[in-house]
Structure 1
Amino acid sequence: MNQNLYGMAVLLLLGMRICSGTALAQEPDRSEQFVQETAPAFLTKHCLSCHSGKAAKGMTRLDDLLASDWADRYGTWTKVIEQVESRSMPPADKTQPAADEVDRFLTGLQPALKQRLLASTRVPPPTPLRRLNRVQYRNVIRDLFGVDTDPTTHLPADEIGYGFDNIGEHLMISPILMEQYLRMAKEIAAAVITTDPDDAAPVVARLEWPPARVRGPNDDTFGLEFTGKKLPWAPPGGKFLAHAFEIPDDDEYVIKVQALGENIGPKPLQLAVDIGGTEAFRVPVASSSLTWTKVRLRLPKGTADFTFRPIPEPVPKGEKAPKRGPILLERVLIARPSQTSDSTYPEPHRRVVVARPSKTRNVREAAEAIFEPLATRAYRRPPTREQVARLVAIVEQAHSGGQSFDQGVQLALQAMLCSPNFLFIAEAERGAGGPRPVDEFELANRLSFFLWNTMPDTELFDAARAGRLRKELDRHVDRMIGDARFEEFCRSFTHQWLKFARLKEFRPDPKNKRYADFEQVRDSAVRETELFFATVLREDLPLTTLIDAEFSLVNESLARFYGLPKVQADAGFQRVEVKGRGGLLTQASVLAATSFPTRTSPVVRGAWILENLLNAPPPPPPPDVPNLDSSNEAASKSKLSLRQQLEKHRSNARCAVCHNRIDPLGFALEGFDIIGKVRRVDDSGQPVDATAVLPSGEKVQGVEGLKKILVGPRKEQFLSCLTEKMMIYALGRGPDPADVRTIQATIDALARDQDRSRGLIRGIIASPAFNNR
């Protein structure tokens, strides 16, 4: 179902139509009057001539709409709502209904729709089978093996559905994508399992430079930048890089050199390594990516003086030497193999290889001891005997073919990471009898991927295994909200709910010096919103605090940007009390994400409020209506204010239908410029006018007036919007008419508990949709 239509229908259901502002009664007699009189008359007069019978236009039949199950025909109702409200239907060549006729039809539809949906016995659809998205995959690998790398760089961005990237119907696997998972599995297994004992030898001396963390070009992830030493062919003064290593004892050592080269030709570059003034070995540098070279040497106890010299390749007589870039020496490690033991293997390896073949344990038994607990965690439920046996067989086959036990484990690990049991959040299907309660392990997975965006931890696994998770649900929810991993939910949910994707491409006008400091606070502004949202939930504050808070969380640079009292530079983010600067609507992240690079946009900001705070997204503009800029070129040259330009735009009746709803909300935020700074003069140099009048007649004075509307007469509408958004995120599927009962029950429960924020999370977790398959 089209998500915009669904949101509009839920808006109608709650009796909060912002476009008309008409107070709606919920009495059954009015509902029945609509069903028996108003609706049939309207549909007969304006719709049924085209939309009835088997030959109905657009394959949309309305002649049986009132007599059908309203929940089953919800998609049709939402289409009717959109078409009638936007005046797209009846077509322009047909007789048009009067404004009061449309208003009576749409407002009468609300109580009827509400009563029938709340009384419906429709069962929520099952949460669909869904693949781990990129963030979940990365987090599961981290928690499963303890490796702090991002293996998902090979993966394309996840498809967005209903505003979120964890929707099951969009998380399938194509053959091309499966190839990438095979590649990642191989790389992860190689990073986790150390198959060469030399790589497990304890390092006794090292030369390296601290890596620099840099932001990726296309997303919010961080990578490592090469920070090693560049070794030129002809160093200044003829002095090559020298370093003294302290060797603890007379023994055989493995010297590991990691390097890369620039402008490599058909032959590898050569890096000579001198020890004590004599060349000991050479390192071939044949790649523009970091590669390791290992050499075994016996070294005496004491100081070993190393020198690293690039060796120019010989040039035949009469030929010009090729241009070569420097060799980058990233690190040098000296390891002592004689001291290798199980405890010197890397921690990820030790986490996996918990058993080895011995006199009392054969290869099969050792592999079983590894993969029974590992597959339980990787598959997020106890594996079947057959699943474990397949992994064990890979180890046995590799070992019998002459490979080491660790190499066999590495191969089996690759297979495990490519299993559907790992790649998908899988649940048993419904039986013939309809919905069934999810089992304890399925519940643990739903909780964990909802609140942490990763796999369950040991406590959730133990509670599920013991069959006590449901009994201890509240305790685990509180524990999970208090855990550091909860910030992953706050980051992921807020970025997608609040549409922060626009911020990645947003670049304020470089010609305007007023915006010059935005790049310095861009990341801090996003972090402010994440921490603010997390604080509201962790402290169990009323959800209306998201709108009307009198505090925020800022660091030194953000406090200076906002003009707030000074925060110490080394203090990080601090909670500060603010007046008129609290809540989402005043945060730079939101205000920048809803602006153009050169000017504010009441249209974008108003539409953003309708969609993300009120669940009433306006339909897209008609294709034959010119946009604001092209239709008001003359107005722009005459120095009309943006408000005056929008008034001219609304003179087109087809534009006015939506802009009457959108523009007033956006005007209320005109006191902030494109990057979220308070202003008194607008982009055209005229005094800011942040007043507005909603279609309902309510007067709004700036952002504070808008806040009062959102936490006052529109509070239930805001709470229903937030509830639906979080349900979509928690369930991994789009909204369904049956969810209306959960939304209404959650809002009623919130009202009984002063709108405390954890009531929203608990309401979703307690819902039939979350607990049943």
Structure 2
Amino acid sequence: MNPPRYSPRRSPVSTLIAMLILTALVLVESLPAQSPADVIPKHSFSQTIRPFLKTYCYDCHGSETQEADLRLDTLDDDFSKSTSAGTWIEVMDKMNLGEMPPDGSPVPTTNDLSSVTHWIAAELRQAERSSLGKEGRVILRRMNRAEYTNTVRDLLHLKFLPGESPENVLPPDGTAEGFDKVSVALMLDPSLLDKYFEVAQRIADKAIVDGPPPFATEKMRLEMEDIADNRAIDYLCATPGIECEEKAIVLMQGSTRSFGVMKYPGTRNEIPVNGMYRIRVRAWGQRGTDGDPVIMRVRQGHPSADQQLLLETEVTDEPKIYEVIIPRDPKCGEYNVSIVNQTGFQLTSRVGNEIRRQQEKAGTAKDYEKVMRLQSRQQLENLTWGKPNPEAANTSKLRKLVVDWIECEGPLYDQWPPKSHESLFYRGEDATEDEAYLRDIFTQFLPQAFRRPVTEDEIKKVVTLCLSELAAGESYQDAVRTGLISILCSPKFLYIVEPSSSDHRRELNDWELASRLSYFLWSSMPDDELFRLAESGQLSQPEVLSAQVDRMLADDKSQGFVQGFGAQWLKTDEFRNFMPDANLYKEYDESLGEAMVGEVIAFFNEVLRQDESALLFFDADWTMLNERLAKFYGIDGINGDHFQRVTLPKDSPRGGLLGMAGVAMRGSDGNRTKPVNRGVYVREVLFNDPPNPPPPNAGEVEPNIQGEKLTVRQRLIQHQQIPSCATCHRTIDCYGMALENFNAIGAWRTHQDGEDFRGRNTPPIDASGMLPNGQTFESFAEFKSLLLNQKDRFAHGLAEKMLTYALGRPIEPTDRVLIDQLAHQMQSNDYKITSLIHGVVASHAFHTK
């Protein structure tokens, strides 16, 4: 987030602000603590576990003998004690490794061993959740960086350009229970406080401006007829695939660029500063004999791949102006207008095309002598072995893009001063800049920032800080900047505060309910409508609250929920943990990787927006595709980078979450598939049922050693022969092996590929298996059908995930009744996500602190 050119000098009292903030944080952190939840007694301990230990363990670890200083006859089932938990972990590990009971001792059955180790793992898991939870209470938590960014955006009416968002500056947040919204994972230490202070300074500099904009809006246009008159760039007219007419340039292949000719007045660059710019092109199309439409693409040079494509659209047969408003910065350089490549035509030989590319590169570098030499070479070779392709010599067959002019206008300003400045200094530029105005500014601003009514003392503290700045000789605007910085760093802003003076649960007031609702569905602060309802005391009324849920889900700000809950539930940030081997998977590129992530998020968004059943995550006859991913899936007729709903061919193996390429790529190491990893993903995401942790030194399925040609399935079967691994793998591997038809980058395969498998005679894929419940399947399609039969299990898992996300705390045993109710509500409403959201918001847990 680079400060704008008009940034003021830093405040001399910034150290004082930091000290005040630290003091406030200490006060916040010292709020009454809640005691951990008591561990609910388990009848199975006395009835099953202790008899097991007595039979198989007490002889070596009892009252008379304690081998390895380990005594188990006094071990209790209180996993909240670190000493007890540590001993239980040791017992579980020894059993998993086959070291207990030792040789010569009575041997328990595999089922008995499995029951004990699963009980220990479940108790450890519950103890972990209890330590994170607070007897079902939602504890104080700070905003995560996405929430902070969105809140600043809405509070100050700011728009962040790429790379300037607070999310680009603040470090990643901690996670617990799969989300970055759980209280215990969102601590605030001094190093993070320094970052918040840095970000707040930049935000204040952006929000409050001095004087006119540093660069006025200018319009720069390049008329295509100027190309033929400019010998520096007229080589384009001699390039095969491009024809220069009197007042336009005709593209059949290749592109025409801004050529560095369009410069902002008084500078050497087209883009003088980061900002929003309007790109306009006057163009039209001429269809070829194939009758297909002419597609125009506008791109810019930029280091970031996601900022290169500016516009892609079908052009009309008549001249029309096409425009797009996009963020640009001095790193962008030139931009170009091109016709989307036509298949079946090649106007020049490969060598001729390479010469043309060298011409364009030399033109960009302003090496015009080299341009002319290459142009002469091109003309010479066109008379010999580099002549145009005879099949394409008749250019009347080709689609043509006719470009009249291209234009860049900017930097653009919605208004000046910006709305952020105007909303703070709401009386305008002619207001009297005195203490009374300071008080009015923050009387209006503080309730919005703190998301509740404020006290006179809170206003006075900020005003006093601003007055000290004025006394130090700072300008009035700098003084307000200092006040704004102090607010943005205050724990009352950074934390979602729901204070409590006792250890007992209490009902939220309407202001607190407004914040809990908005950070659930928007990952941002409440808007004016929620504030109005909170002030009137109407928000907590069931019918009002339900209507607000519908309104908020229909709002564009619900993308905060899609990116927050949807992306984290589906683990899309893990899809590209490993870069595919470029030699094995030549189809893969950066744009394909981005599209794999985009498909899953767009699919979640579509199910939510269209209020469709969440069971579509198991199987669907459609998915969300852009051009790059559609090409990878072998589906034609999809153009552009935007995702659109596409009906899948009847014989397509896609459809549903597990048929998406990104999920498959996540379950690989860039070289081979990893069925165990994929199986864990299925259990965690679809059923919220993570398997028990593996024993120490369990290892992984190893790659083939030299001379071997074992498939992943064969190596996994070998791995399962290890007794300590067999029990757990039986409940994991079947889910992963069912996905073996998808290779390491998610391409469908019927035979082994990647790793050591190349050529035609590779082993066929075996995607059969048996689920832990005993049901068998022979194919991926059958596997999906069997999973769909477990819809109730899915509903309970999704309800647990949603409640964790909404409350910012782990699920506890006391939530079981609520989870059952939420799952039943989903089942009664076609398993719709919106139904689950309404159920969560209406629950008693959502309304209590």
Structures share fold, TM-score greater than 0.5: yes
Q: 1:530 aligns with which of 574, 591, 601?
A: 601
The answer on 1:41 being equivalent to 2:55 is: no
Query: What is residue 182 of structure 1 aligned with on the other side?
Result: 197
> CA 1:43–1:440 in 2, change beyond 3 Å: closer, same or farther?
farther
> CA 1:382–1:237 in 2, change beyond 3 Å: closer, same or farther?
same
The answer on 1:482 being equivalent to 2:554 is: yes
Letter aligned with residue 669 of structure 2 = F
The answer on 1:660 being equivalent to 2:730 is: yes
Query: What is residue 835 of structure 2 aligned with on the other side?
Result: 759
Query: What is residue 575 of structure 2 aligned with on the other side?
Result: 503
Letter aligned with residue 674 of structure 2 = S
1:28-62 CA distances to partner (integer Å, 9 max, x unpaired)? xxx98x68855553354346775899x99889887
CA distance in 1, matches of 2:123, 2:100: 22
> How many angstroms does 1:347 deviate by?
2.2
Q: In structure 1, the residue corresponding to 2:623 is in which secondary structure?
A: strand
Alignment of 1:394-405 (within 5 A): 394-405=465-476
> CA 1:697–1:353 in 2, change beyond 3 Å: closer, same or farther?
same
Q: In structure 1, the residue corresponding to 2:52 is in which secondary structure?
A: helix
CA distance in 1, matches of 2:612, 2:95: 37
Alignment of 1:508-587 (within 5 A): 508-512=580-584, 514-569=585-640, 572-579=643-650, 580-587=653-660
1:699-724 CA distances to partner (integer Å, 9 max, x unpaired)? 02322222222221x32222222222
Query: What is residue 245 of structure 2 aligned with on the other side?
Result: none
The answer on 1:610 being equivalent to 2:683 is: yes
CA distance in 1, matches of 2:85, 2:630: 47
8 Å Cα contact 1:606/1:665 also seen in 2? yes
Query: What is residue 137 of structure 2 aligned with on the other side?
Result: 126
Letter aligned with residue 564 of structure 1 = I
> How many angstroms does 1:175 deviate by?
1.4
Which stretch of structure 1 is more off in the superposition, 398-407 or 165-174? 398-407
Q: 1:702 aligns with which of 770, 774, 779?
A: 779
The answer on 1:146 being equivalent to 2:179 is: no
1:374-414 CA distances to partner (integer Å, 9 max, x unpaired)? 21121122222211111222333333544332222111111
Alignment of 1:608-757 (within 5 A): 608-629=681-702, 633=705, 637-683=707-753, 684=757, 685-712=762-789, 714-757=790-833
Query: What is residue 37 of structure 2 aligned with on the other side?
Result: none
Q: In structure 2, the residue corresponding to 1:606 is in which secondary structure?
A: helix
8 Å Cα contact 1:355/1:369 also seen in 2? no
The answer on 1:438 being equivalent to 2:508 is: yes
Which stretch of structure 1 is more off in the superposition, 104-113 or 385-394? 104-113
CA distance in 2, matches of 1:74, 1:719: 34
> How many angstroms does 1:421 deviate by?
0.8
> CA 1:142–1:766 in 2, change beyond 3 Å: closer, same or farther?
same
Q: In structure 2, the residue corresponding to 1:166 is in which secondary structure?
A: coil
Q: 2:673 aligns with which of 576, 600, 608?
A: 600
Query: What is residue 170 of structure 1 aligned with on the other side?
Result: 185
Which stretch of structure 1 is more off in the superposition, 75-84 or 87-96? 75-84
8 Å Cα contact 2:217/2:411 also seen in 1? yes
Query: What is residue 376 of structure 2 aligned with on the other side?
Result: none
Q: TM-score, normalized by length of structure 1? A: 0.71
Letter aligned with residue 143 of structure 1 = D
Q: In structure 2, the residue corresponding to 1:548 is in which secondary structure?
A: coil
Query: What is residue 242 of structure 1 aligned with on the other side?
Result: none
Alignment of 1:148-227 (within 5 A): 148-149=159-160, 150-194=165-209, 196-199=210-213, 207=265, 208-209=270-271, 225-227=329-331
Q: In structure 2, the residue corresponding to 1:197 is in which secondary structure?
A: coil
> Which residues of structure 2 form unaligned runs of 5+?
1-39, 125-132, 220-263, 278-299, 308-325, 335-364, 370-407
Query: What is residue 300 of structure 1 aligned with on the other side?
Result: none
> CA 1:215–1:387 in 2, change beyond 3 Å: closer, same or farther?
farther
8 Å Cα contact 1:52/1:63 also seen in 2? no
> CA 1:154–1:452 in 2, change beyond 3 Å: closer, same or farther?
same
CA distance in 2, matches of 1:201, 1:749: 57
> How many angstroms does 1:224 deviate by?
5.7
1:103-145 CA distances to partner (integer Å, 9 max, x unpaired)? 67799999999xxxxxxxx984322222221211111111112
CA distance in 2, matches of 1:562, 1:84: 47
> CA 1:101–1:170 in 2, change beyond 3 Å: closer, same or farther?
closer
Letter aligned with residue 844 of structure 2 = P
The answer on 1:494 being equivalent to 2:504 is: no
> CA 1:201–1:521 in 2, change beyond 3 Å: closer, same or farther?
closer
CA distance in 1, matches of 2:814, 2:93: 23
CA distance in 2, matches of 1:334, 1:586: 43
Letter aligned with residue 786 of structure 2 = I
CA distance in 2, matches of 1:528, 1:570: 11
> CA 1:124–1:478 in 2, change beyond 3 Å: closer, same or farther?
farther
8 Å Cα contact 1:200/1:346 also seen in 2? no
CA distance in 2, matches of 1:82, 1:216: 48
8 Å Cα contact 2:580/2:588 also seen in 1? no
> CA 1:708–1:236 in 2, change beyond 3 Å: closer, same or farther?
closer
CA distance in 2, matches of 1:577, 1:81: 51
Letter aligned with residue 157 of structure 2 = G
Query: What is residue 341 of structure 2 aligned with on the other side?
Result: none
> How many angstroms does 1:84 deviate by?
9.9
> CA 1:96–1:381 in 2, change beyond 3 Å: closer, same or farther?
farther
> CA 1:103–1:624 in 2, change beyond 3 Å: closer, same or farther?
closer
> CA 1:459–1:92 in 2, change beyond 3 Å: closer, same or farther?
farther
Query: What is residue 229 of structure 2 aligned with on the other side?
Result: none
Alignment of 1:308-387 (within 5 A): 344-355=416-427, 363-387=434-458
Letter aligned with residue 782 of structure 2 = G
CA distance in 1, matches of 2:636, 2:410: 48
8 Å Cα contact 1:546/1:583 also seen in 2? yes
Alignment coverage as a number of residue pairs: 623
Q: 1:455 aligns with which of 525, 530, 533?
A: 525
> CA 1:700–1:645 in 2, change beyond 3 Å: closer, same or farther?
same
> How many angstroms does 1:656 deviate by?
1.2
> How many angstroms does 1:447 deviate by?
1.3
CA distance in 2, matches of 1:508, 1:484: 35
8 Å Cα contact 1:450/1:730 also seen in 2? yes
Q: In structure 1, the residue corresponding to 2:427 is in which secondary structure?
A: coil
> Which residues of structure 1 form unaligned runs of 5+?
1-12, 14-30, 114-121, 239-329, 336-341
CA distance in 2, matches of 1:110, 1:169: 22
8 Å Cα contact 2:487/2:493 also seen in 1? yes
Q: In structure 2, the residue corresponding to 1:738 is in which secondary structure?
A: helix
CA distance in 1, matches of 2:428, 2:199: 26
CA distance in 1, matches of 2:657, 2:471: 62
1:190-231 CA distances to partner (integer Å, 9 max, x unpaired)? 11111x324489768864437769686999xx996524779x
8 Å Cα contact 2:141/2:496 also seen in 1? yes
Q: TM-score, normalized by length of structure 2? A: 0.65
8 Å Cα contact 2:53/2:72 also seen in 1? no
CA distance in 2, matches of 1:237, 1:625: 64
Q: In structure 2, the residue corresponding to 1:687 is in which secondary structure?
A: coil
Q: In structure 2, the residue corresponding to 1:552 is in which secondary structure?
A: strand
CA distance in 2, matches of 1:477, 1:60: 53
